[in-house]
Structure 1
Amino acid sequence: MRSSLNGPLEYGLRVLVMLTEAYPQQLDINHLVLLDHTVLHTAELGGPPSIHPDHPLHAGELGVRRANVEEGLRVMLRAGLIDMQAPNTGIRYQAGDEAYSFVSGLASSYITELRNRTRWVVERFATMSDEEIRQQTTVIFRRRPADTGFTSSERQAEPWNG
């Protein structure tokens, strides 16, 4: 049996929260993968404390994150909470009509923290161009804890006043 931790439902829920916070913006898979990583590791970018703990190999998470985000999208598409659009620029996703009501009805400390982090990330990164996404992804892949000698909390560029 598959673990529900980091499974399609958890990825789908994070994607749904991201799309709800970014609404009415439509995001492609590349944006969603980068935003998903960033939402979990906000402290590295000067944001609020990270939801997931820092560890030496988390940059490698990007390698498997895309497939997991795609699975999560399928879960939320089947539930009718996410809409898929196919403009000339490629496939994009948007929060569906019921997404905000669904997310607003969720009550847990994890969801509250996730929504706070997602707002911070969407404000800063949701409008990135494809080239900026490629550059940021490269930065994440190259980042190693030994490069700086600092922990994630010491790498914060600015204090977070959430």
Structure 2
Amino acid sequence: MVNEANDRAGREVFTQSGGAARATSFYRAPIDRMTNVNILPGNDGSEEEIIASTEDGIVVDNPVSWSIGSNREHFHFGCEIAWEVKNGEKTRVLRNPTYQGHTLEFYGALSAVGDKSTWIVEQVNNCGKGEPNQVMQIGHGVPVVKFDDVITGERK
């Protein structure tokens, strides 16, 4: 991450605004929020090629629940489905898979980035924050990606 989000309240610490303080209405106070986060396509191939290069891991799909720490340093995601990967091949289906981590360590463990054919834009309709709660939409443009040493699990 190159710059962190900030507003006027943080100007003593940050010298340049990230333009990330937004409100859901004129009668609500602006709140520091993340901007749309994108990962540009890379040169590590298709989803199939990235899976083939994986000795032991999981492929997750369709996040359905999440918990993000108030300071945004830690996260936990629950997904609808995942597939176990062994020796470069998808094997068994994992139901209710989870993954978690420390945000900066997680992105620091990015080891493969899919090519342009894998890039999609995902929309998050309910990014809530604040008291009283303010819900906004955000988006993420992302190719297929591979992260090393992620804590994963399967809810029973």
TM-score, structure 2 normalization: 0.22
Higher helix residue share: 1
Higher strand residue share: 2
Answer 1 or 2: higher relative contact order, Cα 8 Å, separation at least 6.
1
- Rg bigger for which structure? 2
